[in-house]
Every structure is written in structure tokens, then in C-alpha cells.
Amino acid sequence: MKKILATLLSSVVVLGSGAALAQGKPPLKLGAILDMSGLYADITGPGSETAAKMAVEDFGGEVLGRKIEIIAADHLNKADLSSSIARDMFDNQGVEAIIDVAASATALAANEIAKARNKIIIFNGPGSIRLTNEACGPYTVHYVFDTFGQANSTGLAAVKAGLDTWFFLQADYAFGQDLEKDTSAVVNKMGGKVLGTVKHPLNTSDFSSFLLQAQSSKAKVIGLANAGGDTINAIKQGAEFGLMKGGQKMSPLLAFVTDIDSIGLETAQGLVLAEAWYWDLNDDTRAFSKRFMEKIKRAPTSAQAGVYSSVLHYLKAVKQAGTTDSAAVMKIMKSTPINDMFAKGGKIREDGRMVHDMYLFEVKKPSESKARWDDYKLLATIPGDQAFQSLDASRCPFIKK
């Protein structure tokens, strides 16, 4: 009898364990590859991780019976490290999709890993248009901005205003190269002239020699084909050199509200720039930003708002598809319009470009600002189909023409 009872008990234990294993599904993991401590940390970094977690929380914390987890890693602005992190996330950590990947060189590296594994990767912080052109993939999404959209929005407005001679300070990597190239194309198309370009290393602390070349060019506009800390330093040092007082305009071709806060309105006032999103646009943007600022203590950037929106869009597609299969999820992501606090009527095109309105802002004077982060006044709203490169002009190899 004892032997029979022992056998029955052991069978119950085995069956119970099997049932528990059947019910316990692994978590759905999303990987965020970020600049957590470098010159783009305020633009993406911990804020992007927080925005992703806010999206997960607002979605309900689980999908298809799986708990949703955000795994963040710091790529240190190194392309080889970004590639290694992406490979480890997909191959060893069970990550289903990757988000953000701030900076273009690191994004291009991670993109190759995602394409090789047929995994979804969504770019929020990087700008290089190569991501939806030569480097595009069937599961690649460029969500927030790109060099063409920035150039087309800012450069077009400047040349129309009579600022038709340009000299560029270019960050010497993929993003800076593409931004200078795309802006130059706009300037030349509009009948303007590019008088020169000087390249500077990434994360430069001393812009004096580059600014002297720009000053001596006599160009009406000094176009800053850089971002983050490089943009901040260039504008601050340009003010110290007296470039703006001497009649030249500095045009940040990519700038975020955190950059303007670092520069200060006294120096940044009057700058005209294009952004994909601003925290104070409407009631929806303000409501999200209030929650975000309670956690991070600074206003969200367009890249961070894009992380929130794209994570929600992805999770909704997973739920509707009933699977995390990349093809099934991406089909829904591309066929479903995006209507949330980030975009109205946004749409992910065949080439992966998320098309949405862009905004042209002028930085306020100190006397016009009511509080910290009240930095912009809206000059124009640029419809997405006018701001971004057309699908007909795409160099994405799998697009049918």
C-alpha cells in the first residue's frame, strides 16, 4: 500500500509540474539599445527606456498570456558594440524586437543583425535616411525623423526666407554625412549655394577651428549637420565667437528641446528648427509629458515620445496577430494607421518610413517663455507626404516600382 501511495503521489507531482510548465509562458522581451551616458543620453537614454516601460504599463503589462519586459543596454556610441548587443539579445536573451538604437552608425550595425534574423527593429533616435533606403529591410521601421525630413523642413524654410548661402559643420559619420547631403540638395534645388563643408569628429569639445572656417566663408547660414552635445557646443561657441551678432545664422538641422534647454534661451532665441513632436502641442502631448516628467524630471524629446508610440503600436499588432511572428506583426503594423499623442494619421510605408506631420518651430525669446521647457513657438505644420522622401524616390531594394 505504501508503495502504491508513493507511486500515485509522484505521478501527481509530475503531472502538476507539467501543467505548470504548460501554463507558464516565457516573457515577451523588447530590447532597447541606447546611448545611456554619452552625447545622446538626454535625447534617448534613460528617457527612452522609461517611455518604453510607460507604454508597456499602459498596454496592460502582458500580451498573449506573456508578461512584457523591456531590456535596455548601452551601446556607448560604438557600432561594433551595438551589433554585438543586438546579436546577444536575439540569439541568447530571447528578444522579439529591438527599439530606438540611438545614433545612425550604431543603428545601421544593429539593423544588419535584425535583417539576418528576420526580426523587427524600430528606429526612434537615429536619423540616417539609409535606414529606409539602401539599408532597408522588410521588418525595419524608421519611426520619428530622418535626414531628408529634417533637411526638407528646415532647409526649405531658410532658403525661402532669403538665407541662400550655406556652410556646413558636419559630424563625420553616417548621420552627419546624410544630413549635409540632403540639406545641400534642398539648398541647390531652391537656387541657393553651398560655399563649403568642414567635418568634425563625433563628440567634439572644441569647435573653434571649424567655426573660424565657417565665419570666413561669409555664408548667410552655418548649417549644423550634427546632433546632441555636438550641436549644443557648436551653438554655444558660435555665440562666443560672435557669429550671430556678425549677421550669420546658425541652423541646427537636428535639435531637440533638451538641447535648447542646455543652450539656454538667451543664446538659442530665434533659431528655426524642425521637430517631429513637441511636448506642448496639444492636450494629449501635455498629458503624456506630465506623466513622463514626474519620472524623469525633464521634458520628453520627440525620440522618447516616438518610443512610447512605437512600442504601443507594436504590442497592439502582436495582440491582433495572435503571434510574435515578424511577418504577421509587421503586416498589421503597416496596415494600421497610427493615431495617438505622437501622430495623427501616421502610416508605416512599404519601405519602413513612418510618415507623419513635421513641425517648424522658432525658439522663443526669454521674455516670451513662461516656464522652463516653454521653448518653442510653432511656425508651420508640414504634412508628412511633403516632409519625407516620396516612395517613388526610395532606394530601398525590395520596393516594387
CA dist 367 and 29 (Å) reads: 47
Q: Are residues 314 and 325 in the same domain?
A: yes
Q: Is residue 153 domain-shared with residue 241, that is, in the same domain? A: yes
For 108, 173, 322, 326, the CA distances from 79, given in Å and listed in that order, are 8, 11, 34, 24
Quick one: 236 and 328 in the same domain?
Answer: no
206 falls within a domain: yes
What mean pLDDT value characterizes the chain?
A: 93
Domain boundary among 339, 357, 375: 357
Q: Which long-range CB contacts under 8 A does 263-268 form with residues at least 24 apart?
A: 263/232, 263/235, 263/236, 265/363, 265/364, 265/365, 265/366, 265/369, 265/375, 266/366, 267/235, 267/236, 267/239, 268/235, 268/363, 268/375
State the burial class of residue 370 (Cβ atoms within 10 Å of its Cβ: 0-12, 13-18, 19+).
Answer: exposed
The boundaries of the domain holding residue 119 are 28-145+281-357
Q: Which three cell numbers stand for residue 111?
A: 539593423
pLDDT of 333 strictly over 90: yes
Of 357, 376, 394, the domain-final residue: 357
Number of domains in the chain: 2
Tell me, what's the pLDDT at 41? 94
Q: For residue 401, name the pLDDT band (cuts at 50, 70, 90).
A: low
Residue 68 has pLDDT above 70, yes or no: yes
Q: How far apart are CA 249 and CA 240, in angstroms?
A: 14
**Per-residue pLDDT averaged across 45-58, rounded?**
98
Over residues 178-206, the mean pLDDT reads 95
| Residue 270 is assigned to a structural domain of this protein | yes
On whether residue 42 sits in a domain, the answer given is yes
Whether 9 has a pLDDT exceeding 90, the answer reads no
- Give the Cα separation of 24 and 33 in Å (integer): 28
Could you read off the pLDDT of 293-313 as tens digits, one per residue? 999 999 999 999 999 999 999
| Whole-number Å distance between alpha carbons of 148 and 159 | 16
266 and 181 both lie in a single domain? yes
Question: Do the Cβ atoms of 149 and 356 come closer than 8 Å?
Answer: no
The answer to whether residues 292 and 260 belong to one domain is: no
Q: Is there a domain that residue 353 lies in? A: yes
CA gap 194, 251 in Å, rounded: 14
CA 129 → CA 112, 134, 181, 265, 394, distances in Å?
Answer: 15, 9, 11, 30, 10
Q: C-alpha grid cell for residue 349?
A: 510605408
Scanning the structure block, which residue is given the C-alpha cell 552655418?
222
Find the mean pLDDT for residues 391-397: 94
Look at residues 152, 46, 168, 172 and name the one whose alpha carbon lies nearest to residue 105.
Answer: 172
Q: What average pLDDT does range 19-35 have in this prediction? A: 79
Which pTM value belongs to this model?
A: 0.91
Q: How far is CA 324 from the centre of its chain?
A: 23
Residue 200: give its domain's CATH number.
3.40.50.2300
Confidence of residue 157 (pLDDT cuts 50, 70, 90): confident
pLDDT tens, residue by residue, 365-389: 999 999 999 999 999 999 999 999 9
pLDDT(119) > 80: yes
Task: Indicate whether 8 belongs to any domain.
Answer: no
In this structure, the answer to whether residues 303 and 334 fall within a common structural domain is: yes
My answer on whether 365 and 245 are in the same domain is yes
The alpha carbon torsion through 186, 192, 194, 195 (nearest 10 deg) reads -170
